[in-house]
Amino acid sequence: MAASGRQQASKTRADRLRAMVTPSPNFEPGEHKVEDLGDFTLPELKVPQATFEEALDALLEEYTFVCLRTRQEPLDFRYEVPDGLDQRQDIHLTNRSFQQALQTLAIAYGLKLNRKEDGQFDLVKISDLPPSNESPIQGRQWALPSNFKNYLEPYMTPNESVATDEGSTDISTALKRFGWLRGDEVSVELFPTSSQLVMRSNRVELAELYQLMETFYGLAPSQQIFSNWMVTSPDEIALLEKGFLTLAELDEAMPPHAEVLSLPEVVARRGESAEVSLIQGDVESDWTGLTYSVSSEGYGFGVRESSRFEYRPGGEPIQLGENGTAFELPSQVVKENSDIAPPQRHALVERIPTDQGVLYMVTSTMAIDVTGRAVYPEDLAGE
């Protein structure tokens, strides 16, 4: 009966939001699959003084909203909330995957989250679970990513962190929040110098930790690299009017009469703003020239990309292209843009009318790991 009620509530939520949501034109309609949950990113979940059930409802509503915004049919989740979860907490999560957000809520309210292969999940109060050492204890050792602790931090509350000393890192408190290590004979130890984790527990907990390790192996600390161009043309460039482009489309869009100036590439952390400035004067007060800032962060099946362009006249004309064409706008211009783009290497275009024609600010973004390698190599192959 409860499962049926949850299913009906989920359908009602989706139907209600359909009347409110304008789908992004940058996506083809599709159906969200279970295997997409790990990469499905929510920009923000903010719920003040919420019970677990209220926070979970808010998470699923935000998930449904993002699915509809990106023209995907949301999954139908069916679950039961254990009794006695009446405590209230302030919840504020940013730029987390659906799975991270769900796990973080479970940890915050003292629940063990058990995921199923079909995307559904069970919730059990950790206080109701038997000790881990009721089953035979086994040992296992893993080689971990060097920044393993960084992956645990998002699951901790603001006043917690993973303690570190010179010899080893005690992460038992962190893993107990997942619902593991309940008993006197179970243990875990992380050795930073050798990146080895040794855990003694029962077979089920070791298997669950193995799944967590597989998730970490599939992640890479990513940054965002921004390549920027200024393009001027006496006439509109039809394809640039489209807004978001793949790089292949961008190459095709440039007519011979367009003047192109490549601005410096900028690398920033994902979600943070990267800025290119061509100015004279004090950046903190009076200056002339232009600044162009862009940021990109996860959003459902794509990225949410934002840009801000500001031009202040009065400085030296900006030289564009190989011919050195002088460019300047007659008055101050401030342009801001934000939209959702497909999850691929793409270009965001900001259009600015001028007396000399049209100026396009073009930004190509790509996620890279700490080695500079693209997070999605298939994008570089043009797929």
Residues 6+ apart with CB under 8 A from 20: none
**Span 183-210, average pLDDT:** 84
**Strongest mean pLDDT among 45-49, 192-196, 320-324:** 45-49
pLDDT higher at 46 or 41: 46
Rounded to the nearest integer, the mean pLDDT of the chain is 79
Task: Give the range among 63-67, 105-109, 111-115, 143-147 with minimum mean pLDDT.
Answer: 143-147
Residue 157 burial class via C-beta count within 10 angstroms: exposed 0-12, middle 13-18, buried 19 and up? exposed
pLDDT, greater one: 343 or 257 = 257
- Residues 107-113: what's their mean pLDDT? 90
Nearest to 73 by CA among 125, 32, 24, 126: 32
pLDDT above 90 as % of the chain: 9
Q: What is the pLDDT of residues 118-144, one digit of tens each?
A: 888 899 999 998 888 888 999 988 877
pLDDT, tens digit, for every residue of 265-305? 888 776 778 888 888 888 788 898 888 888 877 778 777 88
pLDDT digits (tens, 9 = 90+) for 34-45: 888 877 888 888
Identify the pLDDT of residue 88: 93
* Interatomic CA distance for residues 187 and 170, integer angstroms: 10
* Per-residue model confidence as pLDDT tens digits over 316-363: 777 666 666 677 777 888 988 888 877 656 678 888 888 778 888 888
pLDDT of residue 28: 81
Q: Per-residue pLDDT for 59 more than 90?
A: yes
First to last CA, the chain: 46
Higher-scoring residue by pLDDT: 220, 293: 293
pLDDT at 82 over 60: yes
Strands (E), 51-132: 72-73, 89-97, 111-115, 121-125
Question: Considering the entire predicted model, what is its pTM?
Answer: 0.72
The token duo for 26 is 């940058």
pLDDT for 168 beyond 50: no
